[in-house]
Structures are given as structure tokens and as C-alpha cells.
Structure 1
């Protein structure tokens, strides 16, 4: 994920809606998105989810009820959410939040296609991790 370009829209307001499990983001260009926590979680930009290259992604399941417990600012360009399942290594730049919000329908469809291809379901428990550690490569 590249940094911000000078004309990237920036968030004017971030509102966490715990009941409906969405992050509402209003951007400087007038766009406003309600991004489900689940979508944020399954598309986390962290290495743990994205892997270290194409095809290395870990398909996330069982995240329908995930809550956003904290949203910490990272400089003035990103936020780092802490989710109720303990995941807290994703740094979400403003560009990435805009991408998630604006592409939500397509991303949901891709997620459903990946679940189907993996013969698993959205609510399946995550498989236990083998001893993979990022430090090993």
C-alpha cells in the first residue's frame, strides 16, 4: 500500500458503531462509507492475513461477530484497529479505508468466491495455525 498522494481524500470523521458493527467514515471529498468490522477484519492489511506475497493470503473465517475494541491513530495517515479476536497488527491507511468502503460490494463477492473455492463457510472456525512465524524467513 503506497502512502498518501497529496490529493487523497482524508477522513473528516470516524465513528465506531458497536451495535451495528460498522465503522462510519466521512471523507473530505464528500464520500461517506459504513464499513462492516467483519470486512475490515477479513481484509486486514497485516502480514498475518495478507502473507508475504500473492497467493500467501490466509482466508479469514468466523469473523461475522467480531467487534472493534479500539482504534488507535498512526501518525496522521492511518489507524490501527484492535479487534475482539485479538487481531491488532493491521495498519489501515486513509487510502485503504477508502478502498474498503468504495469497493465493499466487490470485496464481499470476492470473499464469497474464495470461501466457495476453499470449500469452507463464512462462520467456520479458523484452522489452527501451524508453527508459521514471520521471523523464519
Structure 2
């Protein structure tokens, strides 16, 4: 008679530890992308007093198998949402905005100061952000499974 015993608990514990390590790395990769988006969007946001550029809020929230990054700008003057107006409307740049050089995203794409300061870099950098997260995920899985 032949008998084989497998300690399933030990294997499952290793798998759970690997899953947690990979999830931590993916959250870190999403944070990298959120940081880059904040950097780019604040550098291309219109400039008057400098309040808009500093008004960003961020949240990176893992939930199940997904990690969601939320970035928002908020400057309200009474009932007027200045951040939304500067994002959505067409306007001529003032002297403070015209003096800003713009910046480059993670992809090397140059973004100029103006409206859509949050969505332009998000859409323009989306592929590079996905590639960054995918590469971190691949590295984490390889590290944990080797």
C-alpha cells in the first residue's frame, strides 16, 4: 500500500501570502500612476493664485480584485465651482497660466497649461499607466511564484 500526505494548509497559507504580496504591489503601482497624474495635472492646471494646483484630493481604494484611484480638484468660491469651470470651459490663459511651461507625463508626452487639465493627461497616459501596472503585476507574480 502506498500513501501520500499533503499539508494543504501550508500550501494555502503560502498562496494567501503570495496573493497579499501581489495585491500590495498592485496598489503601489496604482499609487505610482495616481502620483504621476497629480503631478502632471497640477503642473498644467491654470494658475492665478496657486490654489487650484494644490487643491487635489486623492484616494486609492482596493476592493476585492480591483484597485481604484480617484483624483479630484476642488476650489469653490461661494456657489461657483472654480476647479470645474477651469477644467470644463474654454478661456484665454492669464499671465500666471501663460508663464507655466507645462510638463511631460510618464510617457514623455508634453501637456500644456489649460482646460481639461485632469482628463487630458489621464486619457493621454492611460496606456502607459496600464503598462506600468501590468509590469509590476508580472514582476510580483514572478517573484512570488519562483
TM-score, normalised with respect to structure 1 = 0.26
Instruction: Compare CA radii of gyration and give the structure with the larger one.
Output: 2
Larger RCO: 1 or 2 (CA < 8 Å, sep 6+): 2
Kindly indicate which of the two structures has a greater share of residues assigned to helix: 2
Q: Give the TM-score normalised by the residue count of structure 2.
A: 0.25
